[in-house]
Structure 1
Amino acid sequence: MAARLETLANRRAIIDRRALSDALAALDGDGPALRAQMVALLKQALEAGRAEIARRLEARPSQGLEAAAGQAFLIDQLLRLVFDLTTKRLYPVSNPTAGERLCLLAVGGYGRGEMAPYSDVDIAFLTPWKQTGWSEQVIESMLYTLWDLGLTVGHSSRSLDDMVRLARADLTIRTALLESRYVWGDQALADEAQARFRREVVAGTDRAFVAAKLAERDERHKRMGDSRYVVEPNIKEGKGGLRDLHTLFWIGKYVNRLDRVEGLVDAGLLTPTELRQFQRAENFLWAVRCHLHLAARRAEERLTFDLQREIAERMHYAQRPGRAPVERFMQHYFLQAKMVGDLTGVFLAHLDEQFARAGRRFTLAAIPRRPRKLNGFRLERGRLALPDDGFFAEDPVRLVELFALADRHGLEIHPQAMRAARRDARLIDARVRADARANALFLDVLTSPRDPETVLRWMNEAEVFGRFVPDFGRVVAQMQFDMYHHYTVDEHSIRAIGLLARIEAGQLRADHPIASQIIHQIVSRRVLYVAVLLHDIAKGRGGDHSVLGAEVAMRLCPRLGLSPAETEMVAWLVRHHLLMSATAFKRDLADFKTILDFAETVQSPERLRLLMLLTIVDIRAVGPGVWNGWKRQLLADLFEAAEEVLRLGHKQTGRRERIAAKQAELKERLGWSAAAFAAFADRLPEPYWIAEPADILERNARHVADAGDGTLSIAAQVYPERGATLVTVYAADHPGLFYRIAGAIHLAGATIIDARIHTTRDGMALDNFLVQDPFGRPFDEDDRLARLRAAIEDALANRNRLADRLAAKPLPRPRADAFRIEPVVLIDNKASNRFTVIEVNARDRPALLNALAYALFQSKVTIHSAHIATYGERAVDTFYLTDLIGDKISAPQRLKALERRLLEAAEGAPPDRAAA
């Protein structure tokens, strides 16, 4: 790889070492003064060289390897100049002894001849034996010079014996030295080091090195999220990133003594086509990495949202219908990461062949059983293989059958068969897609009771999935440019299918008790699995993906062999796959009209069960940390309420009867006297008894009783059933109470996820808030709970200026700032019989809820409940309101003024807090 340094075009435009050497030779003085002059001259050359490399990259933004080689060349020339001036002018030795020999090696990535603009300079100083006083002085002086140039230097200084001893003991050192490259100094010493490294460190340790590097790779993948489809990938260390390519080359170099990546073809580890794919992926990833460093102005390896848009612009990605440049760029990135994964599988298969002896396999344990019915496929050391290279061409349906057999018999697929499948996937045409046998095989894999996720992922890696279902092929490697979705669309869908299979197998019973029960009550399993596959299939088409996806379902399901009734059910599920989560998270489930409207759309218990299962796996497959106990409880509440309506019809138990039943249950829980309970119950209006569940009713009653005649009482306790903390405020009611509490909770470092506001008949507020920390966990430590209570008390007692403290709290969200979300205020007077429902969509930011609540306070309305949902950078806050006398807000002029205030608050316009 270092050979690229020799083929760089017009290298002197980057740095002219001969001219600089003459300029350094002309410098006067000695000691510190001479070194200061040298640093000034070299710093200017370094900056000019970096500017030239950046200019070339800007002109040819996809030439990553050229930029990486240019950076390494620049550092090479600077090191040689520093070495020469240090050894000849600062610390000259007229008659060196045999021990006063010194050579400078580049190691690691720099040794490979590849550097990003802000990469560390990894170097090794070598001496024949123990360091002399002269070599110590030279090394120390050189390091100070490099640091003064602003370089980040990773360095070691060792004798030859130390080098051998440490390389044997430490895998990291051994890997760094594997790619060592002579830079300057004693050439013979460098040659001796290379010979000893191969003879005394590498020889006889091939198998151990390969096993250690693969284990290291697996651990790195786990650390980075164990998927190449995370939407903020680490381009260096992540799965499918540069380090995976480096690992392949390290293994090939160690085992086959290669010096260049092209040698992987001669060693039989890659074909010429795969070598071109390797080089194309490497060039692209290096281009992205160099642009990333330049955009961040530091050694940044994570492709974060706030940098993705700029890099897409730097690399000249253009807008396409329904696709932003950043989404096209990231899809290209994920396709290259996928290519790296494909090459890794092929490479390891060849490595396996090299190491396998007498039936042993190097990388994977042999599978003992031998299934009989393989329809012409054969087993090779426990893996499903092809009898000959033209097997797929004879019958392209076998491309689908390969994966169906792997699933049916629990077999792994031989990488050579995967390579052939990837090569021959183009054979899947309209005739194959219409073949009833092929569709039946595909449906078998999709609805497998075993491990459909793994086999579908294999099918996707081989490009068979996207060829067989072209609509799915359109979303392969497609990202959604937001902070909510953690994976690409294809990876999200495949993960959702895997979660569904695990629920059906009873593996997630603790997390999903209702789902684990109802999945065995549904009439058609395949309707559910097909709906999960198709729910996001129309993303990126520029319209409502739910509507467009339903159209895809109507077209595709008959081809897969589904009946007209099943097809209609799948299309309905895809069309409404967001309905249940939107209702549960953004509407008041205590308002019975919410349940009636939802049930009217769903219409049948079977649809309800299917929709519940689809909703759960859709949310969980978004990414880690998205699912929590609060969402589980809300969905369960909606499911149970809707199921009752659908089972019994709309003639529910009357409102008064429901209140009486709740009060009777609460009286029994409390154990109070009839008179005491009656006095308490009479103070609270009917909506309170409808809105709150039994456990909160009990907590509230005990809280009010403990407060006695006090005018303010605040309770905060962990509410494990909801995965949150319940904060109850019992205080004298007054306008602005809600916005003050919301601001105080934010100042304490918590986030409100739900709020119910009640007023007793004698003028006391009884407000319940569910809060979490910024990571979606309960706010649960004693000191944090005490801080929360104190913050609310201070805000309500007006002990400090709440607005000033909120403005002074620095909580920037640079990642969220990468997204432009136009705020929208939706006003609905039909969603509830008693309330005006207002939904605000805006970019999430600290204290947003406080700002919206203050706007409502200014508008002189009463908030009865608030429901807060966050989808990455997008916040959706819903309020149930009345005017001050308890009626809906219907006057157009007043609604217009309300909308304007909320839009200003959502946009972050500073409110007039004079009234506060």
Structure 2
Amino acid sequence: MNKIVRQRAIVDRRALIGRLNDLAASDLSKVKRRSKVLEIFKEVLNAGRAEVRTRFDKHGDGTQTVRENCFLIDQLIRVIHDFAAAHEFPHSIRTAGEAMSLVAVGGYGRGELSPQSDIDLLFLTPYKRTPWHEQIVEYILYMLWDMGLKVGQSTRSADECVRLAKGDLTIRTALLEMRWIWGDQPLFKELKARYASDVISGSGEEFVESKLAERDSRHEQMGDTRYVLEPNVKEGKGGLRDLHTLYWLAKYLYRVADVAELAETGVISKDAWRRFAKAQGFLWTVRCHLHYLTGRAEDRLTFDVQPEIAQRMNYADRAGSRGVERFMKHFFLVAKDVGDLTRLFCALAEEQQKRKPKIRLGQLLFLKRANIAGFKLDGDRLTVVADDQFATEPVAMIRLFHTALEHGVDIHPKALDLLHRNLKRINAALRADPEANRLFMSILTSRKNPEVALRLMNESGVLGRFIPDFGRVVAQMQYDMYHVYTVDEHTVQAIGILHAIERGELVEEVPASSEVIHKIASRDALYMSVLLHDIAKGRNGDHSVLGADVALKLGPRFGLSDEETETVAWLVREHLTMSRIAFKRDIDDPKTIADFVAKVQSPERLRLLLCLTVADIRAVGPTVWNGWKGGLLRELFHRAQDMMLGGLAEAREYRVQAAHRTVTAELTKQGWTGSDIEAHLARGYPTYWTSFDTATHLRHARLVREAEATKAPLTVDSRVDAFRSVTEITVYTSDHPGLFSQIAGAMAVSGANIVDAKIVTMANGMALDTFWIQDSEGGPFNNPAKLAKLSAAVEQVLSGRMRLDRELAARKGKLPTRTAVFKVPPRVMTDNSASSNFTLIEVNGRDRPGLLYDLTAAMTQLGLQIASAHISTYGERVVDVFYVKDVFGLKVEHGRKLDQMRDTLLKALEDPASREAAQ
């Protein structure tokens, strides 16, 4: 335990006792005296905390701070106990049955106390509690509670502690860390001896299994990954609790006071101990900053505190990366180190208990072999044949992962620890070794799941050393709400998703890519492009362009042909193109498809790009992909394929005629007359018939027919599309300027998020507008009551009975504090080259309720007609693209008008709350 310097600056126990003795000697009543005593203790506590905080602000060492906090509380508890025993409940002669020991348990027992942590106390008695025990315990507890401390407590005998520890894992773990604070020492020593002989002895295997199961359950609840946007410093994977688990296992199995003793006895390497201490110190420091910054026992590194803690820990901005990103990268690297230590300790625990490994039947024949590709088996896990194997044969460091993947066995943690110690041997010579590169390509393109091997290669540090460019993005995070994982974790997950697509595991969710992936000529190029698509993130420049340069360099090294290398470079450079076109452009516009085809050029590249795009998006985060995005990508793929194979114009005319034939046949079956069918077909322009599928055409036909028959001024229809995770809202009413804006406002009032919109004007002057909406969680807006409210809101807005400005103003709240830290610079761009008939307006800004209404209302005021809107949200950032014409039905090309559009829309992008505050 670290020595605490200048202890009396934190709490001068002698001076405190003197003040209390003076007070006890006064003639104050007992009630008034207690009040004065409490004031003194509060004063000393606050002064001690301020001193500890001042020291922390100066040296920034969490390891020292948690010890100093613990020391402060220890001294206060001792003085409170002595004052109560001497002055409040004095006993001239205390019997043996009235002995008591004050014991710290849990984290407090370890001697670690973060600024806002709970204090866990055990009041240990010889057997049954006496009235004097109860008086002392009550006095101590109420004094601590009245001082504002959070205290967890129990009063038990040694017999009770042993009995409860045998049946309750939490109590057993808390007692494992017991530490004497004050009182009767023989009583405490008796409990320690009883705990060792009656609880620990013979229960090592049970304890190990229970703690590891507890850890796995905790990881699952926290998302089972250490790479999350807002990690939990204590409970998350790779956090303090994982280190605590290692400490518990070490103490339970080896009877050591701390992990350092394991290194001294040679159970673990000194390097492993140094990594343990370094990781623990970093996590303690972060946790102390969290507690001081928030003023509460907060363990989540939320968005709003990350920049401040980064600044306090001296992480400055650098070219290509912000200080907060550098801080979080360090955090994730520490979490990864904790994972390495966890694997090592688990192996030690298993060896200590001589547990028999669980062997799968399919491995029995394999396990009979003494030598497997130059390695041996320890239980059912692969390990080295000699401690110097990696030193004498560096290529074995790559072959180890290849062998484990191909034979479906785990790698022994001791082999991984040996890898870590030999990482420096992964040098230029090994990177140039043809056999090492062949083995790596075999891993990357394996028919087994390459994600398993690549993740382990990454976590062990091998992948970043073998491919230094990849090493630069290990633990690289992006400070936004869209990217859930670090770049390296996202990449490894994307490769796993690509493998799942190839195996046919995602046919229902991604049918197009599941089909075309088997038509691809170069698997190697596809898998390599997924590995490299984000490899240049965090550098100063466009990561797609810079990544393509990396691909050109690495392709030949991994044995790719010139053609394959060029293909990989193109895929990396264009890996965002397909999603950008699908989500931000009108794919019903022939020029959109023509421009996309001109860039892609070949069906093979189109297939490759689709598979890469799907894997990339699905690996961004668990809620980013939905069926709606999949549908847009599929449609873009098929239309581009049509143009490549036969020309889009011919394909479009064919599709219009095919739609007419199909709709005619279906409506005839439903009893429509020929004249009614002809009238309905005449209502739709060619674009309408190519924009929707047959089922939608038939729904529209029934809706329009009923509306025309009843002369209804407004018809609103809804349909839940579970596959695409959206609710489709169709509005049929008279077209007029500002209609889109009014409907968008009504939906904002109803709490719906518009993810896309299709605006159609029929030949009869009626609008048949379709909106695809979701709820705030990214699911379909399917609550019946909310849908009814939405329909009523649309009707009230269009009839003029609802004032949208008032309704939206009442609903617009401030951004949540946790996410308000994100700043998105507003940006408005216009483009007259992307479409033959429309001006494109792309709007980027901070998402907020009612934003789409504000934007479209501004466009209406500018006299613009909105033909289609494409709404994309990336975490806190919204990217909306509108196809517009002026009042004369022409593109907007006058410079002054374009400037006016930009200025007006930039003003609409401002948050009304910020605007009001500025005024």
TM-score band, normalised by shorter chain: over 0.9
5 Å-filtered alignment, 1:472-871, equals: 472-653=470-651, 655=653, 657-670=654-667, 671=670, 672-707=672-707, 708-809=710-811, 810=813, 812-871=815-874
The aligned counterpart of 1:87 is 85
Please say if residues 240 and 280 of structure 2, whose CA atoms lie closer than 8 Å, have aligned partners that are also in contact. Answer: yes
Q: How much does 1:323 deviate?
A: 1.3
Most deviating of 526-535 and 466-475:
466-475
Could you tell me how far apart the structure 2 residues matched to 1:413 and 1:468 are?
A: 19
SS across alignment from 1:99: helix
Taking the aligned partners of 1:519 and 1:818, their CA distance within structure 2 comes to 41
Query: Which stretch has the larger CA shift, 522-531 or 83-92?
Result: 83-92
Supply the distance in 1 between the matched residues of 2:895 and 2:174 (Cα, whole angstroms).
72
Instruction: Report the CA distance between 1:102 and its aligned residue.
Output: 2.8
Residue 202 of structure 2 aligns to a residue whose secondary structure is: coil
Counterpart amino acid of residue 815 in structure 1? R
- CA–CA separation in structure 2 for the residues paired with 1:70 and 1:365: 54
How far apart are the structure 2 equivalents of 1:305 and 1:380? 44
Determine the C-alpha separation between the residues in 2 that align with 1:773 and 1:91: 63
Deviation at 1:726, TM superposition (A): 0.8
Q: Once the 2 structures are TM-superposed, how far is the Cα of residue 651 of structure 1 from its aligned partner?
A: 4.6
Q: Does structure 2 retain, via aligned residues, the 8 Å contact 1:825–1:902?
A: yes
- Contact conserved, 1:751 with 1:773, CA < 8 A, in 2? yes
3-state SS, counterpart of residue 280 of structure 2: helix
Equivalent position amino acid for 2:706 in 1: D
1:417-462 alpha-carbon deviations (Å, 9 max, x no partner): 2122221121122222111111111101111110211111121122
* Contact kept in structure 1, 2:253 and 2:352, CA below 8 Å: no
In structure 2, the residue matched to 1:113 is: 111
Residue 881 of structure 1 is matched in structure 2 by 884
Q: Contact conserved, 1:425 with 1:462, CA < 8 A, in 2?
A: no
* 1:678-734 CA-partner distances (Å, limit 9, x unpaired): 333334444433433333322222223333311122222212232100112223333
Candidates 385, 388, 391, aligned match of 2:386: 388
Contact 1:103 1:189 in 2 (8 A): yes
The answer to whether the Cα contact below 8 Å between 1:235 and 1:303 also exists between their aligned partners in 2 is yes
The answer as to whether partners of 2:358 and 2:380 remain within 8 angstroms in 1 is no
Q: Post-superposition shift, 1:333? A: 0.9
User: How far apart, in 2, do the equivalents of 1:491 and 1:476 lie?
Assistant: 8
> How far 1:127 moved relative to its partner?
2.1
Distance 2:121 2:475 in 1: 38
Distance in 2 separating the partners of 1:164 and 1:829: 79
Inter-partner Cα distance in structure 1 for 2:432 and 2:441: 13
Greater shift in the superposed pair: 159-168 or 218-227: 159-168
Match in the other structure for 1:8: 4
Q: Per the alignment, in what secondary structure is the counterpart of residue 869 of structure 1?
A: strand
Deviations 1:629-681 (A, max 9, x none): 111111111111111111213452354x5434323323333432222233333
Q: Which amino acid aligns with 2:729?
A: V
Offset of residue 158 of structure 1: 2.3
Q: 1:898 and 2:916 equivalent?
A: no
Q: Secondary structure of 1:509's match?
A: coil
CA contact (8 A) 1:366 1:381 kept: no
Residue aligning to 2:268 = 270
SS in structure 1 of the partner of residue 768 of structure 2: strand
Cα deviation for residue 463 of structure 1 reads 1.6
Rounded Cα–Cα distance in structure 2 between residues aligned with 1:675 and 1:267: 95
Conserved 8 A contact 2:204-2:353: no
d(CA) in 1 for partners of 2:658, 2:253: 76
Contact 2:249–2:349 under 8 Å retained in 1: no
- Cα 1:798–1:72 change in 2 (3 A) is farther
The answer to whether the 8 Å contact 2:830/2:839 transfers is yes
- 1:124 partnered with 2:122: yes
Residue identity matched to 2:680: F
2:153 to 155, 169, 181: 155
Identify if the C-alpha distance between structure 1 residues 140 and 507 changes in structure 2 by more than 3 Å, giving closer, same or farther.
same
Give yes or no for the alignment of 1:19 onto 2:15: yes
Q: Aligned runs of 1:395-406 on 2, under 5 Å? A: 395-406=393-404
CA RMSD between the two structures: 2.1
Equivalent position SS for 1:818: coil
CA distance in 1, matches of 2:914, 2:267: 66
What letter corresponds to residue 419 of structure 2 in structure 1? A
Contact 2:652/2:690 (CA < 8 Å) preserved in 1?
Answer: no
8 Å CA contact 2:370–2:377 kept in 1: the answer is no
* Equivalenced residues, count: 905
Structure 2 match to 1:46: 45
Gaps of 5+ in 1: none
Describe the shift of the 1:677–1:155 C-alpha distance in structure 2 as closer, same or farther (beyond 3 A): farther
Alpha carbons of structure 1 residues 34 and 410: separation in structure 2 relative to 1, 3 Å: same
User: What letter is aligned with 1:674?
Assistant: G
Q: Is 30-39 or 855-864 further displaced after alignment?
A: 30-39
Secondary structure of 2:477's partner? coil
Q: Any idea what the Cα deviations from partners look like across 1:508-561, whole Å, max 9, x if unmatched?
A: 222222222111110010000000000000001110000000000001101111
TM-score by length of 1: 0.95
Q: Give the unaligned 5+ runs of structure 2.
A: none
| Matched-pair contact (CA < 8 Å) for 1:377–1:385 | yes
- CA distance in structure 2 between the partners assigned to 1:187 and 1:372 by the alignment: 55
| Deviates most, 787-796 or 310-319 | 787-796
C-alpha contact 2:315 2:327 (8 A) present in aligned 1: yes
Partner SS for 2:352? helix
Q: Which residue of 1 aligns with 2:283?
A: 285
Q: For residues 313 and 855 of structure 2, what CA distance do their matches in structure 1 show?
A: 40
Residue 819 of structure 1, CA deviation: 1.6
The alpha carbon displacement at 1:797 in A equals 3.3
The one-letter code of the counterpart of 2:47 is A
- Residues in 1 aligned to 2:285 and 2:607: alpha-carbon distance in whole angstroms: 48
Compute the displacement of 1:763 (Å): 4.0
Counterpart of 1:434?
432
My pick for the range that moved more, 692-701 or 306-315, is 692-701
Q: Residue 650 of structure 2 aligns to a residue in which SS?
A: coil
Q: How far, CA to CA, are the matches of 1:286 and 1:292 in structure 2?
A: 10
Residues 755, 770 of structure 1: 8 Å contact kept: yes
Matched, 1:194 2:192: yes
Q: Residues of 2 paired with 1:911 and 1:85: CA distance?
A: 56
CA distance in 1, matches of 2:138, 2:359: 45
Contact 1:72 1:113 in 2 (8 A): yes
Q: Please tell me whether the aligned partners of residues 268 and 350 of structure 1 are also in contact (alpha carbons under 8 angstroms).
A: no
1:334 offset after TM fit, Å? 1.1
Shift of 1:159: 2.9
Q: Give the Cα separation in 2 of the matches to 1:885 and 1:678.
A: 30
Matched to 1:779, the amino acid is: F
**Which secondary structure does the structure 2 equivalent of 1:734 belong to?**
coil
Find the aligned partners of 1:253 and 1:387 in 2 and give their Cα distance.
30
Distance in 1 of aligned mates of 2:362 and 2:833? 64
Instruction: Assess, with a 3 A threshold, how the Cα gap between structure 1 residues 77 and 525 changes in structure 2: closer, same or farther.
Output: same
Partner amino acid for 2:666?
R
